[in-house]
Amino acid sequence: MEKVDILPQVQDFCRRNDLLPEGGLIIVGLSGGPDSLALFDILHRLAPKYNYTLVAAHLNHELRGVDADADETAVRCFCEDYKTRLYVRKRDIAAEAAANCQSEEEAGRRARYSFFDIVVRKEAMLMAAEKAQSDPESQRIPNPLEHHALYAEPVETHNSDYYRQGIRVAVGHHRNDQAETVLLNLGRGSGIDGLAGMRPQNGHIIRPLLPIAREKIEAYVSWRGLKPCLDATNLETNATRNRLRHQVIPAMSEAFGFDTVPSLARAARLLRQDADYLHQQAENALAAIQAGAEHTAKQQQLREYNLPGAVAILSIKEANELHPAILSRVLRRWYQDSFGDVRDLSARQVAVLINLCRPGRSGRKASLPQGRSAVRDFDNLVLLEATEAANVATEAAGTDTAAKKRPEQPLKIPGTTELSGGDRFVTRFIVVQNQIVYNSQIWCFQASELSGAVVRYRRPRDYFKAEG
């Protein structure tokens, strides 16, 4: 059999992107498929050079019955052969997808990264315990009872703190996956960040196989005598990504007369460089705004505000002097610095923040993820924390006599319902689940639950109770 050793290429890619932690820990997402087996085998071969510890994590999605259980058994045997610690968990992804109005692909992705994050935190605690035993002067060993979040279900995170601690989570995305991601984001209308695709490293998540073609990975698996599990659902075309893989990309390659996968991956790499430059310029712009005497005065003004929940303030005048490409990134970074993350902050909501910076009346508000909000206060843009934001909005509605007079409208199903203030609600029926788009501006219901529904603006004494 022909020798197809991709290790030198992977090692060079990891070196150029500083992916492998010397003396650290790598948790490998091990599905049992050819990509994850190749990833684990290569990292295992490189371990003596970098002196890191390998751990594996396998999530049984319970989507394929006995086949899923067979995959789990195969992964257990594989890890026994490699004498590697393995974490295994089962999740009913089909039920979770239905309960959360998600595709099984999206529900599975969120469940995997949630599981990886739990494993990371458990391993971090083990590392802290080992350090405490070897170094009595080190920090006190964390008490699991004090860290109840260890057993919670976090969403996908990219934690730079774990990266600095020498902890990585390695996933098996390769060049073909990158091409599919670029097309997927292009079809969704993503900006440059989405078209830049997946990064080699994002926080503690690393992708050592990103420059490698699927065909080379499969050849490597055969050469090394690895026995991967084959998921028949990858051949189906009901999922969008599978249709891109089996229909769209082959059609593109035929139309162009050459394999378009390398071209799409190269475009992602070039766009990633541009995106990195724009992000750096945005960080510099935000730092310049916040370093000025005017911002210092505004911070003092913010502390003196009688505005419950106000956590951050930004000069609208200085924001409007920025190029739109920089302003959008400044607002995202400002939001992240204020709340700790930008999870669920969509491009549409960033556009709403930009609109608040445009000329208009003071007092305009915008809803943001997780119950937060933003309000324009004369020449300032102010971010409000979640619970207080709702109270402020309720109080504002109580003093807005115009809001009291705005009539309610029956919700048109399907159709567009427009309120007197200019807000619109668009409803349509979803027959094929893969047509659903997920973000904080779209809600999914059983059609029967909306029978007789009306939409209107907030009124005095209204209150909101979140589900759960």
Taking only the tens place, the pLDDT of each residue in 16-59 is 999 999 999 999 999 999 999 999 999 999 999 999 999 999 99
User: 357 and 231 in one domain?
Assistant: no
Give the per-residue pLDDT at 152: 35
363 assigned to some structural domain = yes
CA angle, residues 86, 74, 157, in degrees to nearest 5: 45
User: 314 and 210 in one domain?
Assistant: no
User: 309 and 416 in one domain?
Assistant: no
User: 305 and 389 in one domain?
Assistant: yes
- Residues (pLDDT < 70) of the chain are 1, 135-160, 301-308, 343, 387-406, 420-422, 431-441, 458-468
Q: Where are the beta strands (DSSP E) in 10-65?
A: 25-29, 53-60
What CATH number did the domain enclosing 378 receive? Answer: 3.30.465.60
User: 235 and 302 in one domain?
Assistant: no
User: 264 and 154 in one domain?
Assistant: yes
234 assigned to some structural domain = yes
Q: Could you tell me the residue range of the domain that residue 207 belongs to?
A: 7-271
Q: Say how many domains are in the chain.
A: 3
User: 264 and 316 in one domain?
Assistant: no
Give the per-residue pLDDT at 346: 83
User: 197 and 128 in one domain?
Assistant: yes
User: 388 and 411 in one domain?
Assistant: no
- 414: cis peptide before it, omega within 30°? yes
248 assigned to some structural domain = yes
What's the full length of the chain, in residues? 468
Q: Of 209, 239, 271, which marks where a domain is finished?
A: 271
Give the per-residue pLDDT at 214: 97
202 assigned to some structural domain = yes
Give the per-residue pLDDT at 41: 98
Q: Is 194 helix (H, G, I), strand (E, B) or coil?
A: helix
Taking only the tens place, the pLDDT of each residue in 164-221 is 889 999 999 999 999 999 999 999 888 899 999 999 999 899 999 999 999 999 999 9
Do 456 and 407 meet the contact criterion of CB atoms below 8 Å apart? Answer: yes
User: 381 and 239 in one domain?
Assistant: no
The type of residue at 75 is V
287 assigned to some structural domain = no
Give the per-residue pLDDT at 466: 42
232 assigned to some structural domain = yes
The DSSP letter of residue 246 is I
User: 329 and 365 in one domain?
Assistant: yes
Give the per-residue pLDDT at 341: 78
Q: Of 399, 420, 435, which marks where a domain is finished?
A: 399
1 assigned to some structural domain = no
Among residues 52, 36, 27, 206, which one has the least CA distance to residue 122? 27
Enter the pTM of the model. 0.75
User: 103 and 183 in one domain?
Assistant: yes
Give the DSSP H or E segment for 305.
none
128 assigned to some structural domain = yes
Angle of the 34-50 helix axis to the 214-223 helix axis, nearest 10: 70
What CATH number did the domain enclosing 172 receive? Answer: 3.40.50.620
